[in-house]
Structure 1
Amino acid sequence: MSVKVKEVADLVGISVRTLHHYDAIGLLTPDGTTEAGYRLYSDENLEMLQQILFFRELDFPLTKIKEIIHSPSFDRLEALELHRSMLLEKRSRLDTMIATIDKTMQHAKGEIQMTTKEKFEGFDFSHNPYEQEARERWGDEAVDKANAKAGSMSKDKQEAMAQTMNAIYAKLAGLRSGSPDSAEAQAAVKEWYDLLNQMGSYTLEAFKCLGQMYVDDERFTKNIDRFGDGLAKFMRDAMAVYADTNRK
């Protein structure tokens, strides 16, 4: 069975432009075309598209997905088992975050009291789901050094680091209605810079580029803005000010 590109787009819920892009970058090339030049997708193409969308749901970059699914060692069943395991983990984390939202609403109404720790249950920045992209942008050596530092930490140290990260996000969220070059914002961003350099090695330029990625990459924006709408943009601007000011 062959399906036209518009029918695939309607079936899956993605745009024709996205399918054209997947074809252009060699991620998903349809097996045929009509006499008029319209793309035709086979059952095998649709199975591959399903795999791609599972990986996208798990925030894998397209370059990494292409590398995985076009590898000679790629096993579709094994990949599906991996998808299932990772999605269950993601569902568990989201369920925890929803529970945190419910408790926070009750807290805001004065119905219950929440501890500081309870306010941030479900947030976990102790691992980096975008490691592959970091490798592509800054190279394996920098990422390997960061991983080595994180791996050498005890579990208690890693948990303490994650709590510190969440606390800085929360602090910056509370400042985001002000100016990114304010003394308070710059002090908080310095804490962020110092913390990142405990885990890796960031130059001021890399720090500034990281802030820009918070806005350019919707996955970063989505995660950071959980602490407050517009936080990613505020952090980008504050990090740029910090980098420009301190390298003069």
Structure 2
Amino acid sequence: MDDGYTVGDLAGLSGVSVRTLHHYDAIGLLTPHGRSAANHRRYTDVDVARLRQILFYRELEFGLDEIAEILADPAVPPDAHLRRQHRLLRERRARIDGLLDAVEHELRVRGSGIALTAAEQLEIFDTDRFGAALAEVEDQWGVDAHTAAYTREDWVAIKAEADADIAAFAAALAAGEPADGEAAMRAAEDHRAHLARWFFPCSHRKHRKVAAHYVSDPATVAQWDEIAPGFAWYVHDAIVANADRARS
């Protein structure tokens, strides 16, 4: 529009109510900077772009005061806001995916006839990120039928082995062992045997695919790296090195 957008125009364009736009204006969060030929206030393209930023941050559940503070820094270019929003949205998606995984996992367990208390569910399933990442692979490769008959004792044993795998990788990393060193590759081979024993035939070639899956999502990598900096890629590299050794 040559002379900008009225508040009604912008409300229709954005889906935000006129009342909300008036409120944003009143608190100084989004004040129209244009003028019509009759000297009435109008929203400019710059104002529309700012509203888009506001709506992104509102969707991410930021408060209006927080948004005003974020957008108040003139040194922050628009691309920086987009990168930040992209990261925050990915983190939110990862959290939602994690919740979906937990619910679907419980549905599978209930469908198998295994009766677990809430405390047992937390004890066995909810504390093991290594196993959570594995569960995604399980879903992709369709091994639910294989695990459906597992008892509580089976799952406790699976978790204990998975925890031992994590500990072995973490100990090797903490000791400064290279990912292609003997300790790390031994942990990788134990991990491959764990998958083969409990979930699916796991050749070294398939184990490489598992390793690639573990580092395919930045949010998952960040969670794994809470165990130790660089942990996710260390596990990946150890698995690849072990597969290379087996091939040679």
TM-score, structure 2 as length reference = 0.51
In 2 relative to 1, CA 210–157 (structure 1 residues): closer, same or farther, beyond 3 Å?
Answer: same
Asked whether 1:181 is paired with 2:168, we answer no
| Residue 134 (structure 1) shift | 6.4
Q: 2:142 maps to what in 1?
A: 144
Letter in 2 for 1:7: I
- The residue type paired with residue 187 of structure 1 is R
Match of residue 169 from structure 1: 166
Q: Structure 1's 223 and 196: CA in aligned 2 closer, same or farther, altered over 3 A? A: farther
Alignment partner of 2:97 out of 56, 59, 78: 59
In structure 2, distance between residues paired with 1:209 and 1:191: 16
Unaligned runs of 5+ in 2: 1-10, 17-50, 63-80, 101-117
1:9 aligns with 56
| Structure 1, gaps ≥5 residues long | 21-48, 65-88, 97-119
Whether contact under 8 Å (1:150, 1:158) holds in the other structure is: no
What displacement does 1:158 show? 0.9
1:15-42 Cα shifts (integer Å, max 9, x gaps):
546889xxxxxxxxxxxxxxxxxxxxxx
Structure 1 counterpart of 2:215, one-letter code: V
CA deviation after TM superposition for structure 1 residue 213, in Å: 2.8
Residue 205 (structure 1) aligned with residue 209 (structure 2): no
Determine if contact 1:172/1:188 at 8 Å carries over to the other structure.
yes
Aligned residue among 154, 161, 171 for 2:151: 154
* Aligned residue type for 1:196: L
Give the secondary structure class of the aligned counterpart of 1:222.
Answer: helix
CA distance in 1, matches of 2:130, 2:145: 14
Give distance in 2, aligned partners of 1:220 and 1:151: 26
Cα distance change of structure 1 residues 241 and 54 upon mapping to structure 2, 3 Å threshold: closer
- For the structure 1 residues 200 and 220, does the alpha-carbon distance in structure 2 shift closer, same or farther, using more than 3 Å as the test? farther
Are residues 53 and 122 of structure 1, via their aligned partners in 2, closer, same or farther at CA, if it must alter by over 3 Å? Answer: closer
RMSD: 4.0
Structure 2 match to 1:69? none
Structure 1 length-normalised TM: 0.51
SS at match of 1:174: helix
CA 1:56–1:178 in structure 2 vs 1: closer, same or farther (change >3 Å)?
A: closer
* Structure 1 pair 132–229 and aligned structure 2 pair: CA distance change class (3 A): closer
Which of 1 and 2 has greater Rg? 2
Measure the CA separation in 2 of the matches of 1:205 and 1:225: 25
What is the percent sequence identity of the aligned residues? 16
Report the count of equivalent residues. 159
Conservation of the 8 A alpha-carbon contact between 1:224 and 1:231? yes
